[in-house]
Amino acid sequence: MKITFPHMGTSWIAIKTLVEGMGHEVVLPPPPTKRTLDLGTKYSPEFACLPFKVLLGTYLEALELGADTIISSGGVGPCRAGYYTQLQGRILREQLGYDVRVITFEPPRGHLIETYRIIRDLVKVSFPKFLACAWLAWQKLLALDALERESHRVRPLELEKGATSRILSQGIAAIEKADSVREIKNITATFLEKFKQIPKDSEYQPLKVGVIGEIYVVLEPFVNLDVVETLGHMGVYVDRSIFLTNWVTENTFLDTFRVEAERNAKKAARPYLPELVGGHGQTSIGETVLYAKRGFDGVVQLAPFTCIPEIVAKSIMPRVSKELDIPVLTLMLDEQTGKAGIATRLEAFVDLLRMRRNRLAIARGETA
């Protein structure tokens, strides 16, 4: 089988390792570009959300490169994304005539046997060999998240604009090529050290902003118009609420075995939104509560235009924002590729946060 899968930030590096470890050829689609968006928009229902369109465009680009099987994930709760793979499969097969198989991984909870069957059918090598590859892929994921996290901390402090992003992309490229756990650990250590060596303004106290919202638009810089990097260049420390490693842990192990301990965000959301509204709606509220409690200066909510779970969260947000005294900026993302509108809003939001922090410092008797 020639397998392809969607792009979501840097996750392709780990997924590629995993799929190759199962004994298949991987057809890596190009990262999403305007062409992806053009293709996706052309063949998608008009009312579908941005993730649907970008994913369909990505599949089309992968099929052009010879892929015959698509692996993707299903959705949780009442969110349209739950049936997206079925619909995309039908568009590709019935409307466009591709002979393509679409395999959907649902969250294992409630689908344990089905998940086991899919994996059993997919794995063409000995099981111990597959486990070793899965472990390698997991280590890559951990390493990628570690470097990205550190880049968020370093970027607002850098003296030469762009230095952090440059080292981060070198680190990502190195992890991609690594083929042993030891090598990955060495690379991680080397690049964490390189981040340390970047000349920094150590006096500067960056504003702290949490980025929350729907997973795809949070993780894929092409669709969020590089929000995380843009904020970093404005001198803001960004904490992204979603990293793939935590998300995988929560949705595969914790949910399957009903471990409640780590589900802080859902618990924190309860006073405002006790229901699962699909997608990431409930966690968006919960994460905002947690950021407020951790003393963050503000929160940026990212949502695909027309995303129901995030719209529900958005309409509850004013109360959360008021009661916990944390400013929230919601950005609805759609097909626009011009960054000016987003930059204007982010800049004004950062101005607001800065004035607010100075005011709070004066109120506490400190000099701003």
State which of residues 176, 226, 255, 335 lies at the interface with another protein (CB under 8 A): 226
65 interacts with another protein by CB under 8 A? no
> How many C-beta atoms surround the C-beta of residue 127 within 10 A?
10
State which of residues 68, 93, 305, 308 lies at the interface with another protein (CB under 8 A): 305
User: Backbone phi, then psi, for 332, in 5-degree steps?
Assistant: -90, 125
CB 151 to another protein: min, Å: 15
DSSP class of 95: I
170 interacts with another protein by CB under 8 A? no
Comparison of 57 and 89: residue with beta carbon closer to another protein? 57
235 interacts with another protein by CB under 8 A? no
345 interacts with another protein by CB under 8 A? yes
Amino acid at 80: R
CB 14 to another protein: min, Å: 23
Comparison of 202 and 315: residue with beta carbon closer to another protein? 315
Site map 102..121 versus another protein, x via CB under 8 A: --------------------
Pairwise CA distance, residues 234 & 203, whole Å? 16
30 interacts with another protein by CB under 8 A? yes
Comparison of 66 and 110: residue with beta carbon closer to another protein? 66
Angle of CA points 196, 201, 202, to nearest 5°: 70
332 interacts with another protein by CB under 8 A? yes
33 interacts with another protein by CB under 8 A? yes
Beta bridge partners of 177: none
Pairwise CA distance, residues 155 & 229, whole Å? 8
Pairwise CA distance, residues 26 & 144, whole Å? 20
Angle of CA points 149, 153, 157, to nearest 5°: 150
With the C-alpha atoms ordered 177, 11, 150, 368, is the resulting torsion angle positive or negative? positive
Comparison of 260 and 351: residue with beta carbon closer to another protein? 351
Amino acid at 361: A
> How many C-beta atoms surround the C-beta of residue 221 within 10 A?
17
323 interacts with another protein by CB under 8 A? no
352 interacts with another protein by CB under 8 A? yes
- CB-based burial, 224-253: b 16+ in 10 Å, e otherwise: bbbbbbbbbbbbbbbbbbbbbbebeebbee
41 interacts with another protein by CB under 8 A? no
- The footprint of another protein on residues 128-167 (CB under 8 A) is 162
356 interacts with another protein by CB under 8 A? yes
With the C-alpha atoms ordered 121, 123, 127, 131, is the resulting torsion angle positive or negative? negative
Q: Which stretch binds another protein (CB under 8 A): 20-28, 34-42, 77-85, 140-148?
A: 34-42
Comparison of 87 and 343: residue with beta carbon closer to another protein? 343
318 interacts with another protein by CB under 8 A? yes
201 interacts with another protein by CB under 8 A? no
CB 51 to another protein: min, Å: 18
45 interacts with another protein by CB under 8 A? no
DSSP 218-280: HH-TTTTTTHHHHHHHTTEEEEES--HHHHHIIIIIIHHTT--TT-HHHHHHTTT--S--STT
335 interacts with another protein by CB under 8 A? no
Binding site for another protein (CB under 8 A): 30, 33-36, 162, 226, 305, 318, 327, 332, 334, 340-341, 343-345, 347-349, 351-352, 355-356, 359
